[in-house]
Amino acid sequence: MSLIEIRQTTNKGRGVFSTADIKSGTVLSEESPLISCQFPWNAAYAYLACEYCLRPLETAECNVRRLTNDFTINLPYPECCPTQNQLEAHTKCSACSEMYCSEQCLENALKYYHKVLCRDGEKDNKEHAINKIVEFWKKIHYPPETSSITLILKIIGMFKQCDDVSELHMKFKDFVSETTNEDLMICHKLLGENFADQINQLYSLITVAFDTASDERLQWFTLTGFQSLLAMVGTNGQGIGTSSFADWVRNVSEMDLTEKQRKSVDVLIDNLYTKLDDVVGSFLNNEGSALYSNQSKVNHSCAPNAECRFPYSNNVLALTTVRDIRKGEEICISYLDECSLERSRHSRQKKLLENYLFLCQCDKCEMQVNDADETSDDEDEEEDEEMDDSE
């Protein structure tokens, strides 16, 4: 019996609800995405991940050496690195050399979209039409990345390769659809002050690259259709993070070691995280985005009772409870990161309104309804920095 069900809410559209009393730490569901991709800047900085499922392609030792720029590091217990044990399974597209963690992932990519997106012998050619699109996107969407043009390119590839266009349309229509004005607001937030011109340029680059006007399967890809697609990806995209080093740390932590061995490895891990923080800060993972049909129906709360995890270090999402849940209770995750959740009600609501176009009325926000509508000095400084970075 399923632990969750999808049904209409009073004022939030569809929602996910528990069908039984559930303990904290319970996996409510596991879901593969309709489509996923690595962020372009993340790939540009040599974070090696499977093009199809985002599984790490470099060992934990190689990963931590590269990120710390210290190639003298030697990690003990290499058997605790899943990637180390999967190296022989790694493969690549014979035409463009795109990397995959397995033959199955390569076959899936070729089946769904990669035949259209394959840059046969021209993966590094800056003049290739797809590379032009990605480079234009990178210039208008600097890290930290929250969305990706690659998702849109893969969706176009799916339509050009699919056998049943109507069925694929239904899969994407299952995601929340915004009004035209809301779509434009989301696009504006994603692309900045010159969003209208940037959308036009992106649209032009894509129509040329895929000859959309002459393909009956892409008749929906008008400028308005592109805006809606960009908004859908911006509001429904779920962030993914995978890391071979994190996998190694977790597996080592679960090993049965002597007290001396445990102390030694704990000191090593602490030192490595200190080095990583000094060099790359919070940018430790292969990062990307994906569209999940069921997860997209899970609403937000500033005091969430569940979270999205990636237990297999790929794009399979596990919706997991973070506290005990009563039968009939709505399952909610946070659309904000942990730092944002600790901010004032005013700051949280401002961010949610800007990025997701709704005013949060969760229990936490209702309890803080009489709090002053102001931000802290730290929050104001960070917002100023974000504005400077976007200019």
pLDDT in tens, 13-40: 899 999 999 999 999 999 999 999 999 9
pTM: 0.90
Select from 166, 161, 144, 153 the least CA-distant residue to 42. 144
pLDDT in tens, 152-181: 999 999 999 999 999 999 999 888 666 777
Confidence (pLDDT) at 25 = 97
Cα-based distances in Å from 50 to 36, 55, 238, 243: 11, 5, 17, 12
Low-confidence ranges of the chain (pLDDT < 70): 176-178, 374-391
Confidence (pLDDT) at 11 = 81
Sign of torsion, CA 353 355 358 363?
A: negative
